[in-house]
Amino acid sequence: MIQHGLKGVIAAETAISYIDGNKGYLVYRGKEAKEIALNYSFEEAAYFLWYGTFPTKEELASLNQKLKSNRTLPQNIKKIMHLLPQDMELMSVIRTVVSSLGNSQYKWKPTIDEAIQLTAIIPTIIAYWKRKTAGLPPVAPLENYGHVENYLYMLTGNKPLDVHVKALETYMILTLEHGMNASTFSARVTVSTESDMISAITSAIGTMKGPLHGGAPSDVTAMLNEIGTKEKAESWLRAKLEKGERLMGFGHRVYKTKDPRALALKEKAIEVGQDDPWLALALHVEETAIQLLEEYKPGRKLYTNVEFFAAAVMRAINMDEDLFTPTFTASRVVGWSAHVLEQAERNVIFRPESQYVGSLPDIKLKKT
């Protein structure tokens, strides 16, 4: 029996994350992702995914130093970036620049230090290109800033508000990892050939670039901007549902109850946005949409997903829409690299079959 898109097919064993879509669980190595996001730093969560334990004070200091020492763009990478077309979209820039990092030091087997190097440099790539295309000078990373704080600083050149840092950090921890999704599968397939970490992560970025995977928060923002006011919400949503169109930010292929990531992000969005009218609109649209989805699609269990409140958080911290998917990428590189490392430890090359449905030549067998 053919499973198009490999839906439901188990292709690997993993100890990195577990998802129970019916109960609304997302677990990182035995611990709820929501609890990690609300109680740990990005660096601690990344260490946990890579090593399987939370770091000691000394181990965390060592990780922080490695991240900080790998933030700066090498001169040859800057030269490559200045040769790229000015109108090249940011996800394509990240894919191309990450690929260009693949010198002889990256080889089979992949290492945690390589994962750290990539995690450190991707935010710098994003910030450098964003400011370059805006006609602004680049902002060098600061040694005394943590990973997420430094990312926001390099984007703006200003010290970010603590509440903005924590909101973005919550989002980035919640998107570190999410099972055998399309981009993670791409990374594991690539490294299963005994290719290198750079090639695997480049494959994953190329997959993330597709709008069916990484672009949903921008669509949520567009929807909320089009609705505009609370008064228009019900009529706008009803019109979409009457046409059989999808409501962006609602429903998930895996979760058949409330997305645990959305619940944590909702807390942060309310904390950051407080009396923001746009956030108030988002909360009203959420409530109205869930009621209408139950009316139009009874029993389907369609709830707010992570993209809905990711859009709210991004809006609250004044992050441009073209940074949504790149920022997702800057966090998910941790999960990708954890899977690359896991694949390499018990490697079997991925080699599925396909069923031929084309025509065949008229082959006549010779009589013997």
* Residues acting as catalytic residues: 252, 307
* Cis geometry, peptide bond prior to residue 109 (ω within 30 degrees of 0): yes
Q: Order across the sheet with 17-20: list the strands.
A: 17-20, 25-28, 31-32
136 close to 354: Cβ distance less than 8 angstroms:
no
d(CA 264, CA 269): 9
> Residue 329 forms beta bridges with which residues?
none
User: Which tokens hold the place of 218?
Assistant: 């921008």
Beta bridge partners of 17: 28
Structure tokens at 100: 């260009």
**What would the two tokens of residue 32 be?**
């709820």
DSSP annotation of 253 reads S
Place of tokens 């029993």: 299
Q: How far is CA 110 from CA 190, 297, 317, 338, 346, in A?
A: 12, 46, 35, 10, 13
DSSP-based three-state secondary structure for 17: strand
Q: Is 92 exposed, middle or buried (0-12, 13-18, 19+ CB in 10 A)?
A: middle
Nearest C-alpha neighbor of 209 from the set 289, 325, 308, 300: 325
- Report the C-alpha gap between 360 and 259 in whole angstroms: 48
Task: Give the CA angle between residues 172, 174, 176 to the nearest 5°.
Answer: 65
Counting Cα atoms < 13 Å in the Cβ hemisphere of 293 gives: 19
Q: Is 194 left (phi over 0), alpha (psi -120 to 50) or beta?
A: left
| Bridge partners, 31 (sequence order) | 28
